Chain A
Amino acid sequence: MSIDIETAARVAKLARIKVEDDALPALAQEFSRILDFIEELNEVDVEGVEPMVSVEPMRLKRRVDGVTDGGMQDKILSNAPDAREGFFAVPKVVE
């Protein structure tokens, strides 16, 4: 399958990765090559086959929905590129 430049641009946008316009044709070509490879899967008869959810048919453990941890604001903010007054700081989100 061939991926066009518009599709490559759309995917980059969805992935929130800035790709300059002049890099899009090469990117589209790479996607096309990888998708060609993936399309080998179309040869397989998957009629009636369940898609795998988990490799082991184990029931996931459940736990009480309770607070077990907390009160560590400093630790949580310690790696933030920008934190102010106990909050993560980001550029303006709303006008």
Chain B
Amino acid sequence: MSDLNKLMLAGARDALRKGDVTSVELTEACLAQIEAADELNAFVHKTPEIALEQAKAADVRIKAGDAPKMCGLPIGIKDLFCTRGVASQAASRILEGFKPEYESTVSGKLLDAGAVMLGKLNMDEFAMGSSNETSVYGNAVNPWKVDDRQLTPGGSSGGSASAVAADLCLAATGTDTGGSIRQPAAFTGITGIKPTYGRCSRWGIVAFASSLDQAGPMTKDVRDAAIMLEAMCGHDPKDSTSADLAVPDFEAMLTGDIKGKTIGIPREYRMDGMPEEIERLWQKGADMLRDAGARIVDISLPHTKYALPAYYVIAPAEASSNLARYDGVRYGRRAKLAQGDGITEMYEKTRAEGFGHEVQRRVMVGTYVLSAGFYDAYYNRARKVRTLIKRDFEEAFAAGVDAILTPATPSAAFGLGEMVDADPVQMYLNDVFTVTVNLAGLPGVAVPAGLDSKGLPLGLQLIGRPWEEGDLLNTAYAIEQAAGFVAKPSKWW
């Protein structure tokens, strides 16, 4: 077989089981592609020795007929996941040199399911960004290219998106706090799902905003998302917010039959100045679902407009608390101190040189909104607005809506560096369609649905009821089948 790196999880799994290919062959094919793709800057810590060792072990298990669901499948892991003995830096200078003594629950589950780890993937620093431009490793680059500009793969899971879209790995992990799986998936023409809050354990994933963070898979199609999500989910006593619920066989739920389902189209997502192409894609998505037998209804989510400002109170507030642990004492980098510097200077200098600009800004905004005298005016108000945002969704679901269709992003991928001079709020607008889902704790999936006039991928987002990822993926599967999106970036790297 040739081009093994281009296989999907399902196809590779079946080929491994039939004995048409070995995990070592698959892994070597991916490693060769990774070596030749440094221009994409997607893999930032390569682990070929570990990968080949795991691949050999997987081949033994497959031969013995003892192969778990992901056995022998080579994947990439976002740098936000702690991986035992392998650099885990959250793309930050402050975690330079950090090699965890433990494995995050989600990456551990994937390894237990037989997956092969090819290396760690680029991202925005501490997952704070929408373009992968805040990374200490430098920008990850989108494999899609239509002119002489280099485009962002989106963020924060930019390296994951770039690697999967460029076929450097079969799939990758991502995390999503405000859209960090779905926006990069849409920018690179791949599928990404953020499950219901509590589906995946957060233990061992570097924390950004704990009430919003969720891990999820980034894959080449919906079936692969179902396969990989199942391997990542499940109750973990080490994360008190992880749900003690049975994990269904998501792949078995992909029938493509959505007859009689009700799909809501929220009118508040029709923004002023929304590009016509996005509007058209959204309409096309609704038509595809209608043609597949779903009922399309207009719905209202009246507090949508306040989701971004609420998010930019809650996420920085939680970040300022979570990132207080980076003090230059227990792990990572400590600044060089001058004669006579005490412990306060150590903290201040370490955090000033260890955190990048965007992270510093968010930590300080979070500190401000939590400070005495402002806590009620900002933080408590934002948490009340969050209650209202969640209520909007609950009312839509109570009225019989099964899933909600929206665009995934307000535009196609933009050029790296194009937003450098924009004010931070402009960059935050990238998350306008995705952030509501995190605030309400719901599952959301981005699925590629077409190309814009320049030839760049555009994605649609489906939002589901809590814990119904299976049903949500099935609706995404219906879109995937109707859209027939098969375009790939042409190789320039």
Contact = CB atoms under 8 A, between A and B. Distances in A.
Interface of A: 3, 7-8, 11-12, 14-19, 27, 30-31, 33-35, 37-44, 46, 49-56, 58, 60-61, 63, 72, 75-76, 78-82, 88, 90-93
A55 B214 CA distance: 12
Contact of A15 (B344, B363, B384, B466): B363
Interface in B234-270: 237, 240-241, 243-244
Given A37-B309, A40-B305, 8 more contacts: A27-B364, A30-B361, A31-B365, A41-B382, A43-B306, A58-B243, A76-B101, A92-B342
Nearest to B344: A16
Contact of A46 (B197, B309, B332, B385): B385
Interface stretch (B31-39, B125-133, B333-341): B333-341
A55 B313 CA distance: 16
Contact of A34 (B367, B387, B425): B425
Interface in B430-489: 439-441, 466
A49 to B, nearest CB: 4
Contacts of B352: 17-19
Given A31-B368, A91-B342, A41 B306 contact: yes
B329 A91 contact: no
A41 B387 CA distance: 13
B205 to A, nearest CB: 17
A56 B198 contact: yes
Contacts of A49: 384, 387-388
Nearest to B370: A14
- Which 5 residue pairs spanning A and B have beta carbons closest together? A55-B441, A51-B383, A79-B331, A81-B334, A18-B348
A34 B358 CA distance: 12
Given A16-B347, A49-B384, A41 B330 contact: no
Contact of A52 (B329, B378, B390): B390
Contacts of B243: 56, 58
